[in-house]
Amino acid sequence: MKDCHEPAEVCMTNCPTLIVMVGLPARGKTYISKKLTRYLNWIGVPTKEFNVGQYRRDLVKKYKSFEFFLPDNEEGLKIRKQCALAALNDVRQYLSEENGHVAVFDATNTTRERRETIYKFGEENGYKTFFVESVCVDPEVIAANIVQVKLGSPDYVDCSNDEATEDFMKRIECYKNSYETLDETLDKDLSYIKIMDVGRSYLVNRVMDHIQSRIVYYLMNIHVTPRSIYLCRHGESELNLKGRIGGDPGLSVRGKEFAKSLAQFINEQNIKDLKVWTSQMKRTIQTAEALGVPYEQWKVLNEIDAGVCEEMTYEEIQENYPLEFALRDQDKYRYRYPKGESYEDLVQRLEPVIMELERQENVLVICHQAVMRCLLAYFLDKPAEQLPYLKCPLHTVLKLTPVAYGCKVESIFLNVEAVNTHRDKPENVGVDRSREEALRTVPNHL
Amino acid sequence: MAAAAASPARELTQNPLQKTWEPYDNGLPAGHSAQRGVCMTNCPTLIVMVGLPARGKTYISKKLTRYLNWIGVPTKEFNVGQYRRDLVKKYKSFEFFLPDNEEGLKIRKQCALAALNDVRQYLSEENGHVAVFDATNTTRERRETIYKFGEENGYKTFFVESVCVDPEVIAANIVQVKLGSPDYVDCSNDEATEDFMKRIECYKNSYETLDETLDKDLSYIKIMDVGRSYLVNRVMDHIQSRIVYYLMNIHVTPRSIYLCRHGESELNLKGRIGGDPGLSVRGKEFAKSLAQFINEQNIKDLKVWTSQMKRTIQTAEALGVPYEQWKVLNEIDAGVCEEMTYEEIQENYPLEFALRDQDKYRYRYPKGESYEDLVQRLEPVIMELERQENVLVICHQAVMRCLLAYFLDKPAEQLPYLKCPLHTVLKLTPVAYGCKVESIFLNVEAVNTHRDKPENVDISRPPEDALVTVPAHQ
């Protein structure tokens, strides 16, 4: 008898899942692979992407020209097959030996034959296979992709932009003749999603389980329209000043100053159709009020619930709950306050916020320290161990702008002083540590 | 974006019922602030069903309407067949639907327009957010008429087409929902089936399915073969995205969902709410009875879910099978009232106690939750229940009320008063357009924890009036 006593969101996959990307070059396969991997890891599903092009670059060292990809280039074909097999071997190791749950196999996989080979590999190893195909014929989109992610590729480090573009277009041509798109009839027994024209429409076939359903939902909500996401905390609160955590206090004098500065900053940014979101706690709402624009309150954006430790200082927590305080330092991500929450719980409740942020365009999220750390970790692909220690100081706006395969971050301090609320992990996390050792990293307060 | 930075920030007041912070001008609540969860839709949405008869359109309409209402989006379905039955009174035969039956066509068009008029009233005058227009809508011409109607009125239109050619599925649908239809009340099953098959034929010649090219500018989902595959085109906003996600997760495979609470707990005995207590002696008895009951039911591939509170896990442990713990199945958080008796709540928080009785669905405990909050956190459970087949959910009173309200389509006003007694399993089995409920008391006595709404909900009421419906306890 086995007790599956992990929380439902981790125990989502009974057998590992192999996601197989399909599509011509410059159709967004790597963009999707990386984004999907980032999302799955954030929600707690161990995922890794395997980019066959990277295996090729590691093997061949110096890329010469598109001729490597000509369909009659025997040497090229041999190397490319070798790379695909090496990548699949690493997939097998990750899923069957290293406790990976999902592997994303990122390559063109444009022939039915290649896909059959991979599918058989999946079957032999007990993986569920799910194909993700990106189909796009819009020349503007393809040109934009080339500019965004190909010109800067290691393959073209010694070429001019024009040379690189010309070579890459010929590279795409090499694949076109043998391209067999996923077919409603021929491939009717496979599980897949076909994404058409960067998300204008989707064909979804035979979704087999929960994780595939979540992947489909996520892929159907993401878009590539340029936009920025602004994250900040509420203005300094009365409890911040006293070094107390949680509660539902109002803004301090400086916090109100910050709110006005935020209004001015937002105005100057001249953002098109900005949506403003807050939590349902007074301090974020007070901050939003200063902006003079409509805003939406989300209960799920509320700060982490510190349970019995609500409104305490760290000194009081050490005084009253020294064991809890030490356990928290030992594993800050998984630690749950008595009658409260953990960062891990926070991520689960913030998932709908992330999904809606993906759907939206320009958004300002006025939230809280722990909440902001979770959201930031999603956008910057920070693992669970680092998440609870990300620096999110008061009175500082982080402007996130998607670029290439990642996210550009600009940090803007709005020039209104505030207390520091960041407590680093102390050196001694043992349950028998002294009071001084426990409190060494507590920031100053009244 | 307009700047209103010159005026000072408005003061905030906390709504005493929902504990939400709202700005006010001169003592009155002001605008500018919306609560997420309800304000998902800026302009109303018109969902238009498409498909031949017996393809599951009404099944989907009703289910989708039920789901949207449960998550807080006011939704109503408009079944044109029902308008026809109200107008024509007695159904004679399939000949009514022949494409050259002038009289029939005239009546059917009249019914469609009457239904659209009611849609307009619901969405534009009665604060409805979503209307589901349930008819065959199998010609491009008819769909254009409806789309124009939507545009004229400022609605976003989203088509849901169900395409199915499997004769077994169609035959099963006819048995499930057509044989019992008012149209066939005086016919034998064979007569009804024969007539209905001819009815379907009447539509086939003029059927124009949603086309990838011709209809490329419309927003729609085409469901093929009862969910084997889907074609999704131009999802425009959040609500359409949620609708697509829901439709892609539902299935029609027969199964049952078992709902029950944990066994009686030590705090239940004392009339205390919340906390994280263990089972009482009788609670442990119940757990054993539950194990026996589940065994006897001989359920194929049963999944068992619990909350992360001790009392549900203890109950599941007695079953001797694997189970999954969900934090979102935890009981409603009573905040400052946790582990109190109702008498103590009346003593310490008489105003709160009265507000709760005034609007039990929306009332949020100080530093706690409301039923409305519960529904939002349970949505992933409902979504996963839709995906699954046979499941036993061992949960808590308020949680079970929320889940039950979803399956039995109970509105918000009734939800917090649904009867979910201890030691009683509710077996829910989808049938036709709804859900059959069997209630099985497992013969182990337990305290009653159900407190009815008292007559006097005024904040000035005396303690006796407040406590008159409190069930007996130690």
Q: Name chain A contacts of B239, Cβ cutoff 8 Å.
A: none
Q: What is the pLDDT of residues B268-299, one digit of tens each?
A: 999 999 999 999 999 999 999 999 999 999 99
> Chain B contact for A348, CB < 8 A?
yes
pLDDT tens sequence across B410-440:
999 999 999 999 999 999 999 989 999 999 9
A280 close to B (CB below 8 A): yes
* Closest CA in chain B for residue A184: B229
Q: Is B117 annotated as a binding residue?
A: no
Whether B450 sits among the annotated catalytic residues: the reply is: no
Place of tokens 């999302």: A39
Q: Is A443 touching B (CB cutoff 8 A)?
A: no
The residues in A 121-160 lying below 8 A from B, measured between CB atoms, are none
B416 vs B265: CA distance, rounded Å: 21
B473 is in an annotated binding site: no
pLDDT at B3 over 90: no
CA closest to B11 among chain A residues: A286
Q: Which whole-number Å values give the CA distances from A287 to A38, A174, A258, A263, B166, in the listed order?
A: 31, 56, 8, 9, 58
| % of chain B at pLDDT higher than 90 | 92
Q: Which residues of A are catalytic?
A: 234, 303
- On average, the pLDDT of chain B sits at 94
Q: Is B209 on the interface with A (CB under 8 A)?
A: no
Asked whether residue A241 carries a pLDDT value surpassing 80, the answer given is yes
Q: Does A183 touch chain B (CB under 8 A)?
A: no
| DSSP strands (E only) in B30-169 | 33-35, 45-50, 75-79, 130-134, 156-163
Please tell me the least confidently modeled range out of A142-151, A190-199, A357-366, B119-128.
A142-151
Q: How far apart are CA A221 and CA A216, in angstroms?
A: 9
Regarding beta strands B303-306 and B11-14, do their DSSP bridges make them parallel or antiparallel, or are they unpaired? unpaired
User: Integer distance in angstroms from the first to the last C-alpha of chain B?
Assistant: 61
How many Cβ contacts (< 8 angstroms) between chains A and B?
A: 146
State the average pLDDT over residues A416-423: 98
Active-site annotation holder among B262, B285, B379, B396 = B262
Cβ contact (<8 Å) for B2 and A293? yes
Tell me, what's the ipTM? 0.94
Q: Buried b / exposed e across A230-267, counting CB within 10 Å, b at 16+?
A: bbbbbbbbbbbbebbbbbbbbbbebbbbbbbbbbebbb
Strand partners, B160: B49, B221
- Whether the pLDDT of residue B8 is over 70: the answer is no
pLDDT higher than 60, residue A248? yes
Q: What pLDDT shows up at residue B30?
A: 56
Asked if A213 reaches chain B (Cβ–Cβ under 8 Å), the answer is yes
Structure tokens at B395: 């949960």
Put simply, whether A283 touches B (Cβ < 8 Å) is no
* Averaged pLDDT for residues A191-215: 97
Q: How many residues does chain A have?
A: 446
Interface of A with B in 68-127 (CB under 8 A): none
Q: How far does the CA of residue B443 sit from the closest CA of chain A (Å)?
A: 27
Residue B10 pLDDT grade (very low, low, confident, very high; cuts 50, 70, 90): confident
| Rounded mean pLDDT, B82-92 | 93
**Contact call for residues B17 and B359 (beta carbons, < 8 A):** yes
Q: Are A287 and A337 in contact (CB under 8 A)?
A: no
Out of A7, A210, A285, the one facing B387 most closely (by C-beta) is A210
Whether B301 contacts chain A with CB within 8 A: no
Four-point Cα dihedral B334, B336, B339, B345, nearest 10 = -90
Q: Is B230 in contact with A202 (Cβ distance < 8 A)?
A: yes
Task: Kindly list the residues from chain A whose CB atom is less than 8 angstroms away from the CB atom of residue B244.
Answer: 220
At residue B27 the predicted structure's pLDDT band, cuts being 50, 70 and 90, is low
pLDDT confidence band for B37 (50 / 70 / 90): very low
A8 vs B384: CB contact, 8 Å cut-off? yes
Cβ-nearest to B229 among A206, A270, A272: A206
Residues of A in contact with B216 (CB under 8 A): 201
pLDDT confidence band for A113 (50 / 70 / 90): very high
Q: Sorting pLDDT into bands at 50, 70 and 90, what band is B24?
A: confident
pLDDT score for B42: 78
Tell me the pLDDT tens digit for each residue of B193-215.
Answer: 999 999 999 999 999 999 999 99
Per-residue confidence at B28, pLDDT binned at 50, 70, 90?
Answer: low
* pLDDT 10s digits, B55-80: 999 999 999 999 999 999 999 999 99
Structure tokens at B437: 């409920």
Rounded distance between C-alpha atoms, residue B231 and residue B223, angstroms: 7
Min distance A154 CA to chain B CA atoms (Å) = 36
| CA–CA dist A195, A220 (Å, integer) | 8
A14 pLDDT band, cuts 50/70/90, is: confident
**Is the CB of B12 less than 8 angstroms away from the CB of A286?**
yes
The verdict on a CB contact (< 8 Å) between B5 and A220 is no
Residue A61 banded pLDDT, cuts 50, 70, 90: confident
Q: Does B377 touch chain A (CB under 8 A)?
A: yes
The number of beta carbons lying within 10 Å of the beta carbon of residue B180 is 13
What H or E segment, with its residue span, contains residue B314? helix B310-317
Q: If pLDDT is split at 50, 70 and 90, which confidence band does B36 have?
A: low
Q: Could you tell me the sign of the dihedral formed by the alpha carbons of A236, A242, A243, A246, in that order?
A: negative
Residue numbering of the annotated binding site of A for substrate? 233-240, 283
B33, B220, B364: best to mutate for the A interface, most A CBs within 10 A: B33
Average pLDDT on A245-268 reads: 98
Chain B nearest-CA residue for A192: B229
Distances (CA, A) of A158 to A146, A153, A163, A171, A174: 16, 10, 10, 17, 22
The beta-carbon neighbor of B324 closest among A11, A280, A291 is A11
Q: Is the pLDDT of residue B44 over 70?
A: yes
